[in-house]
Chains A and B, each alone.
Chain A
Amino acid sequence: MDQDKRTLDFLRLFVRHQQELYAYILTLVPHVHDADDLFQEGMTVMWRKFDQFQPGTNFAAWGVQVMRYQILDYRRHLARSKRVLMEDSLFETLMNYLPTIQDEMAVRIEALRKCQSLLDDRAKRIIKMRYEHNTPVEGIASYLKVSRRHVYHLLGQINGVLLRCLRRTLAEGSRTI
């Protein structure tokens, strides 16, 4: 039973904070497939080390520490390959800066959830294809009968719309407070 409770506790915390953890990884490893792998590996390590987590403390902050080592290990491993990696100086800049805004992440994600629901149907469909069905950009281009470059342009536009909505929502939130 203790094991069941431990599993349930872990899952509850992990599901609640998964987007914050994934955002941390993706910002430092901006490549979705590698970020997915690191997320899964990091989850495994967090599960193994869950005994070290102090209940009542900040689960996301603890998770970020675990993920940090996974990411450093990943960069060491890829350093000799020909992959286009983020430069060390940029990586260090972001890695040092991210913990300073970690506490705001949950609020931003909540705001984004609202913004996502405001997108028009076409944008929702494109997002669904790209993120839910993992359709390659070529596939989306073929579906929409546009060029691959235009799909990147559309995705960029959607990103821009969501960002503007995020900023607006956060600003409105701070005014009411």
Chain B
Amino acid sequence: MRKPPFPNMDELIQRLLDDQIQPDEMARLGRAIREDTRVRDYYIDSLLVSAAIRRSSQVTGELSGADLIEALSSGAGHRRSRRLVRCLYASAAVLMLGVLILVSLTLFGTKAKGPPIGRLAGTYEARWRGARLRPGEALHVGAYDLREGMARMELDQGTSLLLEAPCQVKLTSVGEVTLRNGRLAVVVSAQARGFRVRTRTTLITDLGTEFGVIARPDGSTEAHVLEGRVNVALDPNISSRPTSLVVNEGQATVVDASGRAIRDGLAARPGDFVLQLPPSSRPTGSVKPLNLADIVGGGNGRGTGRLDRGIDLATGQPLKGPATAIRWTRRNEFRPTPQLPGIDGVFVPNGALGPVVISSTGLTFSECPRTTGSYFGGPANSGKFFDLPSQQSYPARLNGLSFGTSTHPALSLHPNAGITFDLDRIRRDHPKVRIDRFTALCGIPRDLPQSQFSAADVWVLLDGMVRLHLNYPVERNVVAEVDVPIPTQTRFLTLAVTCSGRADYSWIFFGDPYLE
């Protein structure tokens, strides 16, 4: 076997390892592995290559580390020169330190081992580092690292902690938690009054309340009081003078990264914290729903589309890569998209320029508000946005979940933009699928490089009639569940996003955008 059994198998395996494989590709690969022993052997050897490289270069040390350990434990070095022995022992010590750190992290760091102090009350698509915790399980003193999703912890004195990924906490006792990184909402019972949240720079003490804390990787901390009051104090080990203040309901305070400056009198942002877990994901039925983001990426709704591909609002042509410039248009023009089956066309909505045409048949969006006519790229099968000032891409997280993957697709729609899907064409392409509703999560990711400049509006229209209107005000972060019933005879589904002012950072995503 000199070449892969089918042409792009090597590449397919690499994408499989990154969770970037599409369901139909996985099915094709699986069938080939089952049916052809050459493919099976090639697959196993390829995974062996990846495994061997991955585990030979990480903190567990090179394979030769085993020889060093043996040298250390058996005293083999006595027969060698003193210099070699010194070298061996030094290397072994470094290796042992690395291995022991790994062991201590693995055995004692990623899964808490202390006495039980509460239970995991509920989760939403939660993935933990180094552990698989299930609702109802006991929680122990120790560290927990939530990588994806959300979780609600209930401590024994009645304190509820709501974690949104990514979030690293250490449960110290029933009365204290350390937030190492991430976002945490705390609801304290009367019995647990005085509950404390520590971060690297700050100690927040409950005075009978609900509050939210954000600990950022640079060490800065935000405390937002949703109900009642809290006391916020600088860590005396960092700050030269003791500083604390009481923060009242509706207010927020920020401690800077150095832990020496505290800024108060800010307005709390309750929308930044989740106090209730979203309902669990719906189980997938026998007929899989159609993924609208995939159709935008040039696919058939079943995962054949390309990630990070979109549609140019100026031409209706497929667009590669992220947008890197803000553009304006002074005309309301509907751009058909003949290259993309299932999509009727795209448009830049601006109610100030007369009727906004949203379909090839001339339907209009009569409620469309006045906008600046600016846009940034176009609708895309992507969970990322490109930030012009930092020249970096930012991933989308809604409800603690990463979107823009094969598991959780995302349709990004930066204002001002609109897209109309031709449901008749989709029905023709998928005769077995009955389209009853459009469902998605819709929101703006919380952790943006900057707050959005102005409020954004999301519109869902069926045959030109507004069926859903969502408003996203500045600094009030809301993730909405979209569920729009679609009557059988409906031909056009239109999604539009508008901003009356500057649209910077109004990064609207439809997560899991499905026709069901």
List residues of chain A with CB under 8 Å of any chain B CB. Answer: 7-8, 11-12, 15-16, 18-19, 22-23, 25-27, 30-33, 35, 37, 40-41, 43-44, 47, 73-74, 77, 80-84, 86-87, 89-90, 93-94, 97-98, 101, 105, 108-109, 112-113, 116, 127-128, 131-132, 137-138, 148, 152-153, 155-157, 159-160, 162-164, 166-167
Contact = CB atoms under 8 A, between A and B. Distances in A.
Contact of B10 (A7, A83, A137, A159): A159
Contacts of A27: 43-44, 47-48, 51
B52 interface: yes
Contacts of A44: 106-107, 111, 130
Interface residues of B, number: 73
24 contacts: A11-B99, A16-B66, A19-B55, A23-B48, A26-B17, A26-B47, A27-B43, A27-B44, A27-B47, A27-B48, A31-B17, A35-B51, A43-B106, A47-B103, A84-B23, A89-B34, A112-B48, A116-B52, A116-B53, A155-B11, A155-B14, A156-B10, A159-B10, A159-B14
Nearest to A80: B283
B488 interface: no
Contact of B60 (A18, A153, A160, A166): A18
A109 B50 CA distance: 11
B132 A94 contact: no
A138 B513 CA distance: 24
Given A73-B132, A113-B56, A81 B407 contact: yes
Contacts of B131: 41
B57 A113 contact: no
B2 A98 contact: no
Interface string B395-424: 000000000001110000000000000000
Contacts of A166: 45, 49
B52 A109 contact: yes
Nearest to A77: B132
A84 B56 CA distance: 28
B114 interface: no
A170 B53 CA distance: 18
Contacts of A18: 55, 60
Interface stretch (B25-33, B79-87, B332-340, B370-378): B25-33
Nearest to B49: A162
B480 interface: no
Most buried by B among A8, A40, A82, A108: A82
Contacts, number: 181
B407 A157 contact: no
Nearest to B16: A30
A23 B51 CA distance: 5
B281 A81 contact: yes
Between A8, A87, A156, the greatest number of chain B beta carbons within 10 A of the residue's beta carbon is seen for A156
Nearest to A36: B54
Given A31-B16, A152-B14, A8 B49 contact: no
Interface string B92-124: 000010011001001100110000000000000
Given A11-B99, A15-B60, A82-B281, A159 B46 contact: yes
Interface in B216-233: none
B331 interface: no
A155 B13 CA distance: 10
A72 to B, nearest CB: 12
Contacts of A22: 51, 54-55
